[in-house]
Amino acid sequence: MRGNDGIFLSGVVLITILSATILLVVPDDVADELIPIVKLAMGIWILRSLLNFFGHSL
Amino acid sequence: MITLFQVIVVFLVLLLLSFAAPKLHPILYVSIFFFFLLHLLITVIMPFGKTFAKLFEPLPDPFAKLLIGSVLLYYLSELIAKHMAEAGYASLAALSHFAVKIAILTLWIQQTSAVIKLLSSLLSK
Amino acid sequence: MIAFFQNIVGSVLNNFIIVIIATLMALFIDFLFPTFSKWTRMFLLFIVITIVLQPAFEHLVLIQKIAHSISMTFLSIYPVLTAAMIASGGAFGMLNFQPAMLLFANGAVFLTERLLIPLLTAAIVLDLASRLLPEVSFSKMSDLIRTTLLGLVSALVTAYSIFITTGGTMSWAMSGFASEPIKELVRQNVPFIGSFMTESLGAIGKYSSGAAIFAGGWLITSIWTIALVPTLKTLFTAFLYRWTAALIEPFADEDITGVLDDIGKTLFVLCAVSFLIAFALIYTALFTVILVKLITTMK
């Protein structure tokens, strides 16, 4: 459980850092249009880890 | 530093061409642009993308590569589309950009469909 | 107990899963058509509202139904109870039951049915309206309604507990020390109505522990359970709303999480209101039980 927790948090942090740097590199108007993709990645990550947490009991 | 120098050289060559052959200038511009783009892709962007992906290796498998890949693809498509728009084919540019967007989304669909399948298996209960 | 929670989770969770899938879909469309994003937001908001509002309104209707039936019961039972109280003479003196208390409980339930629940519905509708059209915002109004209702309910409960504690014979049998940390825990963790819950539970507990001498422990427990089930259900659903809002906040539109959060807040107030009903029900049920016991043992 603890290990999972760590993976979840590090995933969130890594996705955040990665997206922040990528969005810095590309120009502003491209960055605005790329935000849905970043949100999608974060959403999939959160939902997947959540379902992994509770997957065995459902 | 070398890249900056190369950019200046390309810029000078383009200026020179616009004087030497004004009629052929658009097509020469396009070909030099794509050539230079390929060059930059191989020497700068690809190595950077690889090291970047390696940096975020702890992130479980598809996410880092997918994010970096889709951003690269999107940016390249935007560049090409802008080029087309400058040449006067704006609607063609929009079309190609849209197609690339769909291609990016198909990269993500596998992940999303897995999550949605899990969610909908909860739904039926 | 687990089956009970599963029942709630199953019925409400479906709606939230649909909301999450709709959000993912909206992200796809947002990426494909950035210029379409206003429309996407509107469609998503409509989907979320139609899906998510249903459980909330079901709870409102449920509590209103309960309030209605209880107030009907009061109206029919009240003359009988007063008559029996007069007939039994001095026996009630030792228990310190005030007949006025019954009237008060009835009044509170009547108030709930006629005033509090329509006002809560108004709060939800105003919230939705201000989310749909942020330029024309009613959020202050709905906030005002919620805080007013909460104040009203807590004032009523304080009045109850004053009524109950002025009767000297009812003693706090359950050890105060044991329940204090739990009270603190609830107070800290349930937003808005936590301290109110512990206060009112303490008041009912004070009362029913006095009555337990007469009525027997299991009866008290069953009365408590019956009275508190709707409240617990509402509380749990409210928590589900806020959990979902917290979960989807990173990848959903701000408006959608705002809608979920607002509905959660309103449901917390509804939970407080349903506490009022539970209070009245427990009081009347215990009163009736003790009356029957007294009449049968006095013979």
Domain coordinates in residue numbering, chain C = 53-298
Tally C-beta pairs within 8 A across A and C: 31
Percent of chain C with pLDDT over 90: 0
Q: Give dist(CA B70, CA B58) in Å, integer.
A: 19
Nearest to C297 by CA among C214, C220, C209: C214
Q: Ramachandran region of residue C171, left (φ > 0), alpha (ψ -120 to 50) or beta?
A: beta
| Residue range C84-113: mean pLDDT, rounded | 64
Number of domains in chain A: 1
With an 8 Å Cβ cutoff, is A33 touching chain C?
yes
- At C212, the pLDDT band (50, 70, 90 cuts) reads low
Q: Among C2, C251, C256, which would you mutate to test the A interface (most chain A Cβ atoms within 10 Å of its Cβ)?
A: C251
Looking at mean pLDDT, say which of A34-38, C84-88, C211-215 comes out highest. Answer: A34-38
Q: Do B59 and A14 touch (CB under 8 A)?
A: yes
Which residues in A lie closer than 8 A to residue C28 (C-beta atoms)?
Answer: 36, 40
B107 min Cα distance to partner chain C (Å): 12
Q: Which of B41-55, C21-35, C169-183 has the lowest mean pLDDT?
A: C169-183
Q: Do C17 and B120 touch (CB under 8 A)?
A: yes
Higher-confidence residue: A30 or C179? Answer: A30
Chain B residues with a Cβ under 8 Å from any Cβ in chain C: 98, 101-102, 104-105, 112, 115-116, 119-120, 122-123, 125
Q: Do C28 and A32 touch (CB under 8 A)?
A: no
Q: Give dist(CA C68, CA C87) in Å, integer.
A: 29
Q: Give dist(CA B63, CA A47) in Å, integer.
A: 14
Boundaries of domain holding A39: 2-57
| Residue range C97-125: mean pLDDT, rounded | 76
Which residues in C lie closer than 8 A to residue B125 (C-beta atoms)?
Answer: 10
Q: Ramachandran region of residue A27, left (φ > 0), alpha (ψ -120 to 50) or beta?
A: beta
Q: Do B67 and A30 touch (CB under 8 A)?
A: no
Q: For residue C27, what are its two tokens? A: 């992200």
Q: Do A36 and C24 touch (CB under 8 A)?
A: no
Partners of chain A (3+ Cβ pairs below 8 A): B, C
pLDDT attached to residue A1: 44
| Residue range C23-47: mean pLDDT, rounded | 85
Contact in structure between C287 and C164 (CB atoms under 8 Å): no
- At C170, the pLDDT band (50, 70, 90 cuts) reads very low
Q: Give dist(CA A13, CA A9) in Å, integer.
A: 6
pLDDT attached to residue B110: 85
Q: Do B70 and A44 touch (CB under 8 A)?
A: no
Higher-confidence residue: C218 or C189? Answer: C218
Instruction: State yes or no: pLDDT of C167 exceeds 50.
Output: no
